[in-house]
């Protein structure tokens, strides 16, 4: 039995549908709204709806009882992850969490012979797997990275809360970069009116270095690495600039309003650009991976489903892990690109600045 918490939500319903399509096992669709849980369960084979409140220990314990795997898509993950983890482990179940990666130290002693996998979504998660995939498939060794992650889509309140938790968390340092094998503060600056290929409009590019980027820099033995969030729209850029000093509830509401304004009349998208510089067959090599998807919730749900499938198949060792380091990047990207409508991946034999901007809506 696979229990999907937040199973009818923006992310959970996509994860549940994919797991059902792949025949991963019977599903338990959990959430506080009985009607919505029943509606989704009725659309899936071998699925049962169960009312659950992640904030109530007894309710959560009843939901996870009998599960082999618990998939946590309930948000905001920085508030639900810890209690869901302990409930799953106490029930003898494995765990895949779409978020929650900043809290591994609290659960390591309790995992034992089970697997707990965190940050199993798109950002973070896929944003760490994509460079590893590019490195494995096209390089003998790499020394440099330049990456842009752009999302044009609406926020749910829980999604905005989790996004702000990631942006404002102490491990995420604005303007920092990777230089000569170490984190360097204040290395980069914000880029305004910045032109990028595969982005129709100019963006504001916010440089950052977070825990996933640092893991990637260590894992690939990078000499230098630059990571940017590419914000396509002035309203969201302004809301992010004010978020650090605003009350969290006010900042969440402002982010939701800003994203709605920026997205109005436009086609939602996710675009990841990753350039690696390195060596292949003794020669200097540069490659750029371009991954595009039609929406952040669907992509996050898909990555979470891929992670769940890997855990069910025993492809992830016991213990606590982050998805970007524990999943096989080649296998994960193969699953994601094999299904129409999830995402599209192309690798170019050139640097990012040499690519041509494409038209909006071409995926």
Q: What is the pLDDT of residues 57-97, one digit of tens each?
A: 999 999 999 999 999 999 898 889 999 999 999 999 999 99
**Left if phi > 0, otherwise alpha if psi is -120 to 50, otherwise beta: which for 135?**
alpha
Dihedral class, residue 46 (left if φ above 0, else alpha if ψ from -120 to 50, else beta): left
Identify the three-state secondary structure at position 335: helix
CATH architecture of the region 126-296+341-354: 2-Layer Sandwich (3.30)
How many other β-carbons are positioned within 10 Å of the β-carbon of residue 171? 13
> 283 - beta bridge partners?
280
Q: Looking at the chain, which residues constitute the CATH 3.40.50.720 domain(s)?
A: 2-118
Q: Is residue 39 classed as helix, strand or coil in its secondary structure?
A: helix
Q: How many residues does the chain have?
A: 363
Contact 148, 213 (CB under 8 A): no
- 160-202 tens-digit pLDDT: 999 998 888 768 999 999 999 999 999 999 999 999 999 999 9
Rounded CA-CA distance 34/322 in Å is 32
The CATH 3.30.360.10 portion of the chain extends over 126-296+341-354
**Beta strand 319-322 pairing with 283-293:** unpaired
Do the bridges between strand 224-231 and strand 203-209 make them parallel or antiparallel, or are there none, so unpaired? antiparallel
User: pLDDT digits over 6-61, tens only?
Assistant: 999 999 999 999 999 999 999 999 999 999 999 999 999 999 999 999 999 999 99
CA neighbor of 344 nearest in space, from 305, 294, 307: 294
> How many percent of the chain have pLDDT more than 90?
88
pLDDT, mean of residues 143-156:
97
For residues 144-159, give the mean pLDDT. Answer: 96
pTM of the complete model: 0.95
Cis preceding-peptide flag for 274 (omega within 30 of 0):
no
CATH dotted code for 2-118: 3.40.50.720
Tens-digit pLDDT profile for residues 97-149: 999 866 565 555 466 789 999 999 999 999 999 999 999 999 999 999 999 99
């Amino acid at each position: 039995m696979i229990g999907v918490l937040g199973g009818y939500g923006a992310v959970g319903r996509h994860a549940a549908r994919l797991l059902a399509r792949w025949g991963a096992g019977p599903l338990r669709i959990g959430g506080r709204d009985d009607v919505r849980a029943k509606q989704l369960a009725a659309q899936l084979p071998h699925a049962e709806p169960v009312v659950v409140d992640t904030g109530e220990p007894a309710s959560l314990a009843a939901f996870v009882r009998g599960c082999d795997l618990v998939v946590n898509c309930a948000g905001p993950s920085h508030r639900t992850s810890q209690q869901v983890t302990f409930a799953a482990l106490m029930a003898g179940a494995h765990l895949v969490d779409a978020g929650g990666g900043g809290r591994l130290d609290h659960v390591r002693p309790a995992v034992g012979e089970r697997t707990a996998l965190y940050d199993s979504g798109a950002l973070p998660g896929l944003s760490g797997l994509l460079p590893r995939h590019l490195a494995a498939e096209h390089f003998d060794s790499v020394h440099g990275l330049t990456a842009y992650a752009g999302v044009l889509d609406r926020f749910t309140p829980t999604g905005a809360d989790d996004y702000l938790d990631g942006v404002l968390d102490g491990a995420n340092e604005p303007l920092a970069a990777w230089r000569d094998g170490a984190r360097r503060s204040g290395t980069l600056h914000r880029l305004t009116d910045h032109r990028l290929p595969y982005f129709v409009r100019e963006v504001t590019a916010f440089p950052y270095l977070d825990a996933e980027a640092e893991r990637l820099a260590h894992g690939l033995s990078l000499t230098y690495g630059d990571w940017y969030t590419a914000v396509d729209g002035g309203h969201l850029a302004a809301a992010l600039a004010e978020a650090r000093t605003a009350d969290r509830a006010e900042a969440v509401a402002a982010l939701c309003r800003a994203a709605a304004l920026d997205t109005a009349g436009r086609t939602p998208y996710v675009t990841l650009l990753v350039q690696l510089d390195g060596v292949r067959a003794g020669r200097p090599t540069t490659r750029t991976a371009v991954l595009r998807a039609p929406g952040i919730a669907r992509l996050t749900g898909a990555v979470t489903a891929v992670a769940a499938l890997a855990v069910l198949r025993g492809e992830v060792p016991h213990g606590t892990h982050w998805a970007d380091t524990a999943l096989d990047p080649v296998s994960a990207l193969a699953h994601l690109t094999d299904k129409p409508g999830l995402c599209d991946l192309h690798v170019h034999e050139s640097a990012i600045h040499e690519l041509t901007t494409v038209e909006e809506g071409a995926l």
